[in-house]
Structure 1
Amino acid sequence: MLSYLARRLTESLIVLAIMSFVIFALLGLMPGDPIDIMIFSDPEMTPEDAARLRALYGLDRPITDRYLTWLGAALQGDFGYSRLYNQPTLDILLPRLGNTIILMGLSLFLALLIALPAGIYAATRPQSLTDHAINLLAFAGISVPPFWLAILLIILFAVTLGWLPAGGMGDGRDFWADLRFLVLPVLALTIATVGGIVRFMRAAAIEALRQDYVRTARAKGLSGRQVVVGHVLRNAMIPVATILALQMGNLFSGALITETIFAYLGMGKTIYDSVVGNDFNVALVGLLFATLTTLLANLLADLAYTWLDPRISYQ
């Protein structure tokens, strides 16, 4: 197991290094740079001043030289400063990463709490009215665009009913007051996530119910609940674990849209603001955090296989 973990961590570091160059190159090829913004804000700046500033900040150098300079500083813990916030990049991103982890964690927990029982229930009653109703709701959740769903929730609960705030975050002094700001973004992400998990859980459970070990368990006299909990659920979770790992990227992108609409200060909104505001360092490190999240989710899914099915071994 230790050798497998070492190999996977090495592979993850290689992927992260490749992605860091790709993201750096794509951001570097975007039109405009901080010097162009300074030129627009200061009409008295001459072309000679702009050329001198580009040389000072290394913006006139090839993209590979600029990347190697950034990588050398990053390996020493220096990820640069934010142009928009005038603070070190990590001082901006780490608190907002915590906010996104809370948002995504609550959404994923609620989605699993709803999707796993619903998928199992539908699988044990195929082609029934309940099965069709669960499938219809799942397809509706998958089909609704996250931004449109977020706007509908704001109109209903914030504008029409006035029960919840339309956006923003609390001040951190009152937990229950701050919790009200999380309700709508968590609800929007949960609805957008739960439908896909229900569909995969239903399909995996139906496949598990057809296996010989389920017929054997029933022949031994086990009740339907014992068969589902003791045999079907654990085996059906193996493909679902894979899907959950792959959906971490989708959940993060959904959080980007949700955080932007609800003005929630998380990683998604910060990345969006940094790209729009040409805040190069924050955008780069934020996107690398998103890449790292997906890599870790896939690693955790692989480790979960050995717990779900003892026959799987990484020795």
Structure 2
Amino acid sequence: MTGYLVRRLGQALVVLWVMSFVTYGLLALMPGDPVDLMLSGDPNVTTADVARLRALHGLDQPFLERYGNWFMGALQGDFGYSRLFSAPVLDVLGPRLLNSLLLMGLAFLLAVSVALPASIAAARRPGGMADRLINLLCFAGISVPPFWLALLMILLFAVSLGLFPAGGMATVGDGGLGDRAAHLVLPVLTLAVASIAQYTRHGRAAMIEVLREDYIRTARAKGATERTVLWRHGFRNALIPVVTIMALDFGALFSGALIVETMFAYLGMGKTIYDAVMGNDYNLALVGLLLATSVTLAANIAADIAYALIDPRIRLTGRGRA
């Protein structure tokens, strides 16, 4: 497994380098630059001032030279300075990264803990009452737009019932653990709904296919209990396609929670990346997108390791899965 992990980490570094070059190029193609935005509020700036500022920020250099300077600085741990927040990029992204990991992790755990038992309950008797009800709820969960669901959550639980805060991360003057947890409830539920529906649908399909296999009929013929058949023989073999979906969704949760973070005024990576792109904050947008890519790559490597743990027939070698 060590050779496999070294190989995958090498591939991940290559992907990150390619992503940094492509993202840097796309950001450079955006209309305007940081100097233009800084000067838009001061009509008395002279041409000499513009030239001096462009030279100071390296915007007068060719594209490849600018990217090379940024890349060499990144290798030394210097990812640049955020224009919007007037602070080093890592100082800005550090707290936002932890916020997103907390929100994403809780939503992911909630989705898995609800979806897996629901998928087994639905697959146990396809076409039955439980299967129809779970399918109906899954279709509703997939179809509901996140922004509309967030509004419903706010109106019901914050405005009408007053059970949870409508937004933010902590109450001014409080900020304790209980207060922080209360502010997380609504965004976590909103973010988890679509994932629950997706995982349940895929888990149900995989479980139905597994329960039709010969070894399941053999286990039942030997007198194994229904619980043993479902959880020991069926559930484990149905996990592999579900783990693939979870790994892909994990990266999407990290960078795709922009709507939820905006609706609940939650300071996470999604909103930070959006603000950086809209504000032409090149360094902040670039590093934020690279962090999102890193999380997606790490989730895929973790999924490959999970394959080997779930199915002993799968071995991780230096050349890939065997």
Query: TM-score if structure 1 supplies the norm length?
Result: 0.97
1:308 aligns with 2:310: yes
Write out aligned runs for 1:217-236 (5 A). 217-236=219-238
How far the C-alpha of 1:173 sits from its partner, in A, is 4.1
Does residue 275 (structure 1) correspond to residue 277 (structure 2)? The answer is yes
Question: C-alpha separation between the residues in 2 aligned to 1:49 and 1:246?
Answer: 48
On the 8 A contact 1:116/1:197 being kept in 2, the answer is yes
Letter in 2 for 1:305: Y
Q: Kindly provide the amino acid, as one letter, of the partner of residue 272 in structure 2.
A: T
Render the CA deviation track for 1:206-225: whole Å, top value 9, x for unaligned: 01101111111111100000
**What does the per-residue CA deviation read over 1:108-131, in whole Å, with 9 as the maximum and x for residues that have no partner?**
100011100000110011011211
- Aligned to 2:290, the other structure's residue is in SS state helix
Q: Name the SS for the 2:233 alignment partner.
A: helix
2:276 maps to amino acid? S
Cα drift, residue 47 of structure 1:
2.6
Name the aligned partner's letter for residue 306 of structure 1. A
User: Which residue identity does 1:49 align to in structure 2?
Assistant: D
Counterpart of 1:61?
61
Contact between 1:205 and 1:236, CA under 8 Å: does it hold in 2?
yes
Measure the CA separation in 1 of the matches of 2:188 and 2:166.
13
Aligned-residue offset at 1:237: 0.4
Q: Which moved more, 1:46-55 or 1:107-116?
A: 46-55
Q: Residues 221-252 of structure 1, C-alpha deviation per residue, up to 9 Å, x if partnerless? A: 00000011111111100111111111123322
- Quick one: distance in 1 between partners of 2:103 and 2:293? 18
| 3-state SS of paired residue (1:41) | coil
Task: For 1:127 and 1:238, locate their aligned partners in 2 and report how far apart those are by CA, in whole Å.
Answer: 24
Distance in 2 (CA, whole Å) between partners of 1:161 and 1:36 is 48
The equivalent of 2:145 in structure 1 is: 145
Equivalent residue number for residue 88 of structure 1? 88
Distance 1:253 1:136 in 2: 28
Q: Give the one of 245, 248, 255 matched to 1:246.
A: 248
Q: Distance in 2 between matches of 1:268 and 1:17?
A: 21
Shift of the alpha carbon at 1:136? 1.0
- Which amino acid in the other structure matches residue 299 of structure 1? I
1:104 aligns with 104
| 1:107-162 Cα shifts (integer Å, max 9, x gaps) | 01000111000001100110112111101111111111112211221122222222
Judge which range, 118-127 or 46-55, deviates more. Answer: 46-55
* Structure 1 residues not aligned, in runs of 5+: none
The answer as to whether partners of 1:204 and 1:239 remain within 8 angstroms in 2 is yes
Q: Say which of 202, 205, 215 aligns to 1:203.
A: 205
Percent sequence identity is 60
Q: Tell me, in whole angstroms, the C-alpha distance in 2 between the residues paired with 1:200 and 1:82.
A: 41
For 1:159 and 1:30, how far apart are their aligned partners in 2? 41
Give TM-score, length-normalised by structure 2: 0.95
Structure 2 partner of 1:164: 164
Which runs of 5 or more structure 2 residues have no equivalent in the other structure? Answer: 318-322
* Counterpart check, 1:40 vs 2:76: no
Shift of 1:54: 1.1
Question: Which moved further from structure 2: 112-121 or 261-270?
Answer: 261-270
Contact 2:118–2:134 under 8 Å retained in 1: yes
Aligned length: 315
Please give the alpha-carbon distance, in whole angstroms, between the structure 2 residues aligned to 1:17 and 1:254: 22
Contact 2:101 2:254 in 1 (8 A): no
Indicate conservation of the 8 Å contact 1:24/1:67, yes or no: yes
- CA contact 1:146–1:254 (8 Å) conserved in 2: no
RMSD: 1.3
Partners of 2:20 and 2:152 in 1: CA distance: 37
Q: 3-state DSSP class of the match of 2:223?
A: coil
Between 1:284-293 and 1:168-177, the stretch displaced more is 168-177
Q: Tell me by how many angstroms 1:93 deviates.
A: 0.7
Kindly state the Cα deviation for residue 48 of structure 1 after the two structures are TM-superposed: 2.9
d(CA) in 2 for partners of 1:249 and 1:62? 33
Aligned to 1:4: 4
